[in-house]
Chains A and B, each alone.
Chain A
Amino acid sequence: MTDLAERRGMNTSVYQPAEDSGLLAQAAVGRVSGRVLEVGTGSGWVAERLATKTDADVVASDLNPHACRQAAERAAALRADGHRGFEVVRGSLVEPFRDDAFDAVAFNPPYLPEDLEAARDDWMEVALTGGEDGREIIDPFLDTVGRVLKPGGTVFLLVSSFTGYDEVLARAEANGFGHEVVVQESYPYETLTVLALE
């Protein structure tokens, strides 16, 4: 399965936009306004789509310092072209943000179970791998994201069939979220779904 990693930009330390990024942006554009957080922004591509295709104030965060720099460069280039940019914060999930700060939060999480990914011990592994079951990052995200959402706010979460769709839904429900499928696409190797959680 290492070809999957190759398809996803193995030779870089920052996750570059792929099918999942496109689906997440497609799902969120048109459904967000106010202030929006993109968690795990990587290259900042989804944040750029949100900043240019919606009227929302966009904040992007990532754990990876290289990703934060790429995203900040993307935001600076947008401003230089006369667009509104977006803000970049280095942090872990929603930890550095205040209660009720956002109208929407979007997340394309690291979700590949470990055995689908050669152990790499680098930033790309952090970007791709969700631990043994693929949910090591999604679970704490679902447990904590409600704190930073305004009442009536929405989470846009990308879920892969590799990750265990039913398990992700169960965790969301345990945290009090109802769900709606915004978009779902099947590819030869996985099915990707963007859920809106409210």
Chain B
Amino acid sequence: MKESLMDILCDPLDKSELELEVDERDGDEILEGRLIGTVTGEVYPIEDGIPNLLPPDMRD
């Protein structure tokens, strides 16, 4: 994902803002990292460049 995507993403649980933590980039692509709910504290992983913003109870 590109960092600009942060402008339109929110925590699916309460629509509050997310904080981005990056582990690995390739140019302007964020490949690995996580999005963290600033209110809920929920952690949403970014894997292979795809943020997984399913609520915890809907993940595999």
Listed in ascending order, the chain A residues whose CB lies under 8 Å from chain B are: 35, 59, 63, 65, 68-69, 72, 87-92, 95-99, 101-102
Given the known interface contacts A87-B1, A92-B58, A95-B55, the answer about A68 and B50 at a Cβ–Cβ threshold of 8 Å is yes
| Bound CA–CA A95/B19 (angstroms) | 17
* B:1-33 near A, CB below 8 Å: 1-2, 5, 7-12, 15
Least CB separation from B5: chain A residue: A87
| Bound CA–CA A87/B28 (angstroms) | 12
| Bound CA–CA A92/B60 (angstroms) | 13
Interface assignment of B43: CB less than 8 Å from any CB of chain A: no
Beyond the given A68-B50, A92-B58, A98-B7, please list 11 additional residue pairs across the A-B interface where CB-CB is below 8 A: A59-B5, A69-B48, A87-B5, A88-B50, A89-B53, A90-B51, A90-B54, A91-B12, A96-B53, A97-B10, A98-B15
User: Among the listed A63, A72, A89, which residue makes an inter-chain contact with B5, where contact means beta carbons less than 8 Å apart?
Assistant: A89
Given the known interface contacts A87-B2, A89-B50, A89-B51, the answer about A96 and B9 at a Cβ–Cβ threshold of 8 Å is yes
Q: Pull 27 A–B residue pairs with CB atoms less than 8 Å apart, ordered by A.
A: A35-B8, A59-B8, A65-B52, A65-B60, A69-B50, A72-B48, A72-B49, A87-B1, A87-B2, A89-B1, A89-B5, A89-B9, A89-B51, A90-B53, A90-B54, A92-B54, A95-B12, A95-B53, A96-B10, A96-B11, A96-B12, A96-B51, A97-B9, A98-B7, A98-B10, A101-B8, A102-B8
For the complex, would chain B's binding face be called helix, strand, loop or mixed by DSSP majority?
loop
Most A-side CB within 10 Å, residue of B10, B49, B50, B55 = B50
Listed in ascending order, the chain B residues whose CB lies under 8 Å from chain A are: 1-2, 5, 7-12, 15, 48-55, 58, 60
Residues of A within 8 Å of B60, CB to CB, are 65
| Bound CA–CA A125/B12 (angstroms) | 24
Min Cβ gap B49→A in Å is: 6
| Bound CA–CA A101/B5 (angstroms) | 10
Residues of A within 8 Å of B7, CB to CB, are 98, 101
| Bound CA–CA A10/B47 (angstroms) | 27
| Bound CA–CA A96/B9 (angstroms) | 6
Residues of B within 8 Å of A97, CB to CB, are 8-10
Residues of B within 8 Å of A68, CB to CB, are 50
| Bound CA–CA A98/B11 (angstroms) | 9
